[in-house]
Copies of this chain bind each other. A is one copy, B any other.
Amino acid sequence: MQNREGCVAADRNDPLAQYRDRFSLPEGVIYLDGNSLGVLPKDAPARAAQVIAEEWGEGLVRSWNTYHWFDLPVRIGDKLARLIGGTAGECVATDTTSINVFKALGAALDMQREDHPDRRVIISERENFPSDLYVVEGMIELLDRGYELRLIDEQLTLEAALGDDVAVVLLTHANYRTGRIWDLPTVTAQVHAAGALVIWDLCHSAGAVPVALDEANADFAVGCTYKYLNGGPGSPAFVWVADRHLARAKQPLSGWWGHARPFDMAESFAPAQTGRKFLTGTQPIISLATMEVGIDIALSVDEAALRAKSLELTSLFIQLVEERIPNSSLTLITPRDHAERGSHVSFQHPEGYAVMQALIARGVIGDYREPEVLRFGVTPLYLGYADIWDAVETLRQVLAEEPWNNPEFQLRGAVT
């Protein structure tokens, strides 16, 4: 598209255009941060109000039965399973992504300890979202059995790292900084061929990039619901376990919500035989129930159309930046190859933090990540082609007008 009119025309022909009306978007904002915190579905406030006033306020403790609160993690988990190519019973909505990484890692290490007791290496990516690495660190120190974290990066490829000492591979499907995605089926097969198990972190792909876990024969997956699934700030995460592992998988955070018969109040733990065994304690019902609204919207969307529009919008963003802001200090760090690109676009810029502050001040909300990275999330459900045009135009103005275009001005110190 060579001009704004072309973008407006594309919006008119967009088969997903009607979804924008399902969300509340603030006036005067182009929101390019749905990969950090998704927007508010219009039906979410009413759902939350109902849970609070009717279910909690009127129903009180009876609502555990009347409204099946205890089954909410499983019911929503079944919906999430559909979204990520799993089947009912494999997934629960619960806790946080980090805690779910701990559970999946514990289960995977336990299986490998039985099958391959000498495998003591956990592979992950140096560029992974740091919390995933912190969880692995914590697990290694806790177990204190000589496990080792091996980080792949530009120097050490996955292929080279996958020795016969590897127990588990923990990868994030779409990278949080660059937006690069792994070829999930191919990598899963590669990990299995090396005798290891794989845990996929889907935080930056669930709801934005098609995922087919069962088809790929994946082992474990985790992810969050507050980005592309629009579940609300800090809405509960999910953990998915392949059906074939469910009977055997033992997650270390055993608690009453994962018990086969929780209300027997038995002295000993006996795990449920479905994904419910990955639950631990009492879940935050208000956040959990509210997030279902966003997930229901995601379930109603045609996945192929969503992916197509996402790629068109990220490609348009890249094209417009390169054509309309030539000779800028922006360096694209997101892959150009569609097969390797998630749903956001990132550029490095030496004054990235200041540039992002200036963009936000003008209503174009992306975010900044160390080091020097401007992230622009593209969420096809509520963004259009003209939004991309306008965002790039604002970026062009910011870079043209603001003092950091002048190399003598040390801006970084001036911005808090």
A residues at B contact (CB < 8 Å): 24, 26, 29, 31, 33, 36-37, 39-40, 44-45, 48-49, 51-53, 55-58, 60-64, 69, 95-99, 102, 106, 110, 126, 129-131, 133-135, 137-139, 141-143, 151, 224, 226, 232-237, 250-259, 263-269, 280-288, 290, 360, 365, 367, 369-370
Using known A-B contacts A24-B57, A284-B287, determine if residue A263 contacts B370 with beta carbons closer than 8 Å: yes
Q: What is the CA–CA distance of A256 and B286 in the complex, to the nearest angstrom?
A: 24
Shortest C-beta distance, A71 to chain B (Å), equals: 13
Whether B26 and A60, one on each chain, are in contact in the complex, defined by CB atoms closer than 8 angstroms, is: yes
Whether A286 and B290, one on each chain, are in contact in the complex, defined by CB atoms closer than 8 angstroms, is: yes
Q: What is the CA–CA distance of A97 and B257 in the complex, to the nearest angstrom?
A: 12
Neighbour of A285 across the interface among B143, B265, B287, B369, CB < 8 A: B287
Whether B49 and A45, one on each chain, are in contact in the complex, defined by CB atoms closer than 8 angstroms, is: yes
Whether B37 and A283, one on each chain, are in contact in the complex, defined by CB atoms closer than 8 angstroms, is: no
Most chain B CB neighbours (cut-off 10 Å) among A26, A36, A44, A48:
A48
Whether A233 and B281, one on each chain, are in contact in the complex, defined by CB atoms closer than 8 angstroms, is: no
A268 neighbours in B (Cβ, 8 Å): 133-134, 137
Whether B134 and A254, one on each chain, are in contact in the complex, defined by CB atoms closer than 8 angstroms, is: yes
Whether A267 and B130, one on each chain, are in contact in the complex, defined by CB atoms closer than 8 angstroms, is: yes
Whether B60 and A33, one on each chain, are in contact in the complex, defined by CB atoms closer than 8 angstroms, is: yes
Using known A-B contacts A235-B284, A254-B137, determine if residue A265 contacts B370 with beta carbons closer than 8 Å: yes
Whether A285 and B234, one on each chain, are in contact in the complex, defined by CB atoms closer than 8 angstroms, is: yes
Q: What is the CA–CA distance of A259 and B137 in the complex, to the nearest angstrom?
A: 12
Whether A286 and B232, one on each chain, are in contact in the complex, defined by CB atoms closer than 8 angstroms, is: yes
Q: What is the CA–CA distance of A53 and B267 in the complex, to the nearest angstrom?
A: 44
Q: What is the CA–CA distance of A198 and B99 in the complex, to the nearest angstrom?
A: 24
Q: What is the CA–CA distance of A33 and B138 in the complex, to the nearest angstrom?
A: 38
A287 neighbours in B (Cβ, 8 Å): 284-288
Whether A102 and B369, one on each chain, are in contact in the complex, defined by CB atoms closer than 8 angstroms, is: no
A-B residue pairs, 10 tightest by C-beta: A96-B281, A98-B255, A98-B281, A284-B287, A138-B254, A131-B256, A233-B285, A40-B57, A134-B269, A142-B252
